[in-house]
Chains A and B, each alone.
Chain A
Amino acid sequence: MNLKIFLFIKLLVLFFISSASALVIGSDEEEIYIDANFSGKNLLVFGSFFSDPSQARDSKSDILIEVVGPTEDVIIRKKESFFGFWLNSKSVGFNDVPGFYYLSSTNEISNEFLNENNIGLLNKKDTQLIDWSALNIDWGNIKNEKEKNSFYDALIRTKESEDVYRRVNGEIDIIDGNLFRSYIEIPNTVPVGQYEVNLYLIIDNIISNEYSYNFMVTRVGIEEAIYSLSKNYPLIYGLISLLIAILIGWSGAEVFKRFRKV
């Protein structure tokens, strides 16, 4: 928690040294560690609207927080009915899709605004979060726009059901009119890698200031040891896995011999 105190002091210092600029950011973590007990994490993002504490936030200023996770390649498959059987038929490969995406604002922000300002990975369609033009998509033999859209929708829907894509508003706490604070839920299924946090100060529908920083999600301890062994020395990893299975299986039988009268 020393880090928090440090950041709070940093924040206070910034108030006084940079009187002109707006949007001052503190952050809780530089790194999220995945260990054996990892079951998700609440990431704290905090800061102030204006560097001058006397300048209180009014109803026209909003904060927008965007968190983008590391990218991954996915395949979306569609099931179709063949003679009564539901089988995978068409598939689309989406490359460089963010493994995590979160968008939060103090008040509801219109899609038009996000479109105009080209914020993050937004758009194409109102409900969608991804900027499809930035993706490398393998459409296979699908040419129909409507069908393509059904695959876009399916990607978003699936990611939302896994809690890795979220868009919320009103989840940012405002303290004393000028400080803001938000806890962003990072679920236990998130991919490891570098995450980008983008903050925007919006005044009168215009981005007045923005700030970005990165944090890492990394495996540590036994989790890291197991993972890297499995990738770097797969044969040794496989043999160790077998050895554990053999030892436990055998000792299980030995222990139970005592209880059995045969």
Chain B
Amino acid sequence: MSIYLPIAELSINIILLLSIGGVVGFLSGMFGLGGGFLMTPILIFMGIPTNVAVATSANQIVASSISGTIGYWRQGLVDFKMGGVLLFGSFFGSILGVWIFSKLVVLGQIDTVISILYFALLTSIGLIMLIESSKVIRDRVRRKTVKKKIHYHNWAHKLPFKMKFYKSKLYISAIPPIIIGFVIGILSATMGIGGTFILIPAMIYFLGMPTSKVIGTSLFQIIFVTALVTLLHATTTFAVDAVLAFFLIIASVIGAQLGVLAANKLRGEEIRALLAIIVLGVATKIALDLLVEPNEIFNISVIRALL
């Protein structure tokens, strides 16, 4: 049973679409990821044109992150104030990101630049998280109690414009979250992802936010970033496929809810270790694509009229 996708201009099996949406949605709910960094490569692998894959997964991430946010919000795990400050930075970052994206398209190097960016970011983040979380797990197994400081002071405390984030039990400058949000905005617009896999470690390690609040808060801000990216793609590249998005959304929303339930049954360190392994897996795949001689060294792209 297949369905014709009007913007991608090809037909695809519905069961396959629903499975992909479901699995990516599950991971997104479990880890608080947008899932774009998995969804986009899978769609491209299935033969969906790159621009359609990027734009449509942004649209899909809006739905799964709304669904996920509501789940965490009910458990009181969303810091709306922190989300708002991040978003302020993201708004400007997205605009810069779209500008960079269009420059790279003109140069014909968008795919390569994105691959290298993905690889560098995923590898470093994956390794950091894996080392950190395995240390915590190892200490726990040895029945060592690690004293946790409620407040630890780093450079984020020395900057001006300090704000109180009651939910996260933080009193830090607004500048670091705005900068983080700005970087996420650039990455969202250029890489077509939510950016949670960068946002989460940044919030934990740079801002010192409690892990429990980080996932819900990042999902909350991802809603708005991906919504903006969706609108930008719909109006500039015309690449949002509503039919493709519809099936992915249905499946991913169900998957995301199951993922949130599964996350409650796991400890923070295990979730982080698992996320680190997935991140490293994707990084390895990207590295192989860059390093192994491809079977077909030529690739074709159809130029679509952009009004």
Contact between B65 and A227 (Cβ–Cβ < 8 Å)? no
Interface residues on A, range: 35 or more
Given B243, B261, B294, which contacts A79 in the complex, CB threshold below 8 Å? B294
Taken together as a complex, chains A and B put the C-alpha atoms of A189 and B235 apart, in Å, by: 24
Contact between A34 and B4, CB atoms less than 8 A apart? yes
- B11–A40 CB distance below 8 A: yes
| B contact residues around A39 at 8 Å (CB) | 2, 4, 11
Query: When the two chains form their complex, are residues B254 and A235 in contact, meaning their CB atoms are under 8 A apart?
Result: no
Question: A88 contacts which chain B residues (CB < 8 A)?
Answer: 108-109, 111-112, 299
Contact A85 B290 (CB under 8 A): yes
**Residue-by-residue, is A48-76 near B (CB-CB < 8 Å gives 1, otherwise 0)?**
00000000000000000000000011111
Please measure, in the bound complex, the distance between the C-alpha atom of A78 and the C-alpha atom of B108, giving whole angstroms.
11
Say yes or no: A226-B11 contact (C-beta < 8 A), given A34-B4, A245-B59: no
A234 at the interface (CB under 8 A from B): yes
A residues less than 8 Å from B240 (CB atoms): 230, 237-238, 241
Residue of B nearest to A228 (CB): B6
CA distance A237 to B71 in the complex (A): 28
Bound complex: CA A227 to CA B4 (Å): 12
Could you give, for residues 229-240 of chain A, a 1 whenever the CB lies within 8 Å of some chain B CB and a 0 otherwise? 011001101111
Q: Does B234 contact A (CB under 8 A)?
A: yes
Is the Cβ of B9 less than 8 Å from the Cβ of A191? yes
Closest chain A residue to B47, Cβ basis: A189
What is the chain A residue whose CB lies nearest that of B258?
A256
Whether B67 and A249, one on each chain, are in contact in the complex, defined by CB atoms closer than 8 angstroms, is: yes
Residues of B within 8 A of A35 (CB): 4
Which of B141-149, B245-253, B271-279 lies at the binding interface?
Answer: B245-253
A168 at interface by CB-CB < 8 Å: no
Closest-CB distance, A80 to chain B (whole angstroms): 8
Interface membership of A91, Cβ < 8 A: yes
Q: How distant is A246 from chain B, measured CB to nearest CB, in Å?
A: 6
Residues of B within 8 A of A175 (CB): none
On whether the beta carbons of A158 and B300 are closer than 8 Å, the reply is: yes
Which residues between 242 and 262 of chain A lie within 8 Å of chain B, taking CB atoms? 242, 244-246, 248-250, 252-257, 260, 262
- With contact pairs A86-B294, A87-B112 given, residues A188 and B242 touching in the complex (Cβ less than 8 Å): no
Q: Find A252's partner among B10, B11, B254, B294 (CB 8 Å cutoff).
A: B254
Q: Are B67 and A253 in contact (CB under 8 A)?
A: yes
A226-B243 CB under 8 A given contacts A256-B257, A257-B74: yes
Picked from A76, A234, A239, A257, the residue with its CB within 8 Å of the CB of B300 is A76
Residues of B within 8 Å of A235, CB to CB, are: 231, 234-235
Known contacts A35-B4, A188-B4: A77-B299 contact under CB 8 Å = yes
Q: Specify the chain B residue showing the minimal Cβ separation from A224.
A: B6
Known: A72-B303, A237-B234, A262-B75. A249 touches B64 (CB 8 A): yes
Residues of B near A86 (CB, < 8 A) are 289-294, 297
Report the Cα distance A248→B243, complex, angstroms. Answer: 14
Q: Which A114-170 residues sit within 8 Å CB-CB of chain B?
A: 150-151, 154-155, 157-159
Contacts of B234 in A (CB 8 A): 230, 234-235, 237-238, 241
Among residues of A, the one whose C-beta sits closest to the C-beta of B74 is: A262
The answer for the CA separation of A48 and B246 in the assembled complex, in Å, is: 48
Q: Which residues from A are CB-within-8-Å of B242?
A: 226, 230, 237, 240-241, 244
> Is residue B66 within 8 Å, beta carbon to beta carbon, of the partner chain?
yes
Residues 2 to 43 of chain A near chain B (Cβ within 8 Å): 34-40
Residues of B within 8 A of A257 (CB): 74
Within 8 A of A (CB), among B164-213: none
For A76, list chain B residues within 8 Å (CB).
298-300
Q: Which of B99-121 contact A (CB under 8 A)?
A: 108-109, 111-112, 116
Q: Which 4 A-B pairs have the closest CB atoms?
A: A238-B234, A249-B66, A252-B253, A154-B298
A binding-site residues for B, Cβ under 8 Å: 34-40, 72-81, 84-88, 91, 93, 99, 150-151, 154-155, 157-159, 188-189, 191-192, 219, 222-224, 226-227, 230-231, 234-235, 237-242, 244-246, 248-250, 252-257, 260, 262
Which B residues lie at the A interface, using CB under 8 A? 2-4, 6-7, 9-11, 59-60, 62-68, 70-71, 74-75, 108-109, 111-112, 116, 227, 230-231, 233-235, 238, 240, 242-243, 245-246, 249-250, 253-254, 256-257, 261, 289-294, 296-303
